[in-house]
């Protein structure tokens, strides 16, 4: 396997991970109560 092909494979996996993370975040924010709970937990630290 050539270095260029290997690098493309890693880049494709990195992009896939980014897209999955963004989709997961968007799905969590579809629930308004989740956003409120997350904000409450964040602000309770301060």
pLDDT tens digit string along 4-37?
A: 888 899 999 999 999 999 999 888 888 889 888 8
pLDDT at residue 6, as a whole number:
85
pLDDT at residue 13, as a whole number:
96
Structural domain count of the chain: 1
> What single string gives the DSSP state of each residue in 1-43?
--HHHHHHHHHHHHHHHHHHHHHHHHHHHTSHHHHHHHHHHHH
Examine the pLDDT at 42 and tell me if it is beyond 70.
Answer: yes
pLDDT at residue 22, as a whole number:
96
Examine the pLDDT at 1 and tell me if it is beyond 70.
Answer: no
pLDDT at residue 19, as a whole number:
97
Contact 37, 43 (CB under 8 A): no
Range of the domain at 40: 3-44
């Amino acid at each position: 396997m050539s270095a260029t092909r290997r690098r493309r494979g890693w880049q494709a996996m990195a992009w896939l991970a980014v897209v999955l993370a963004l989709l997961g975040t968007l799905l969590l924010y579809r629930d308004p109560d989740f956003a409120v709970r997350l904000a409450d937990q964040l602000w309770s630290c301060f």
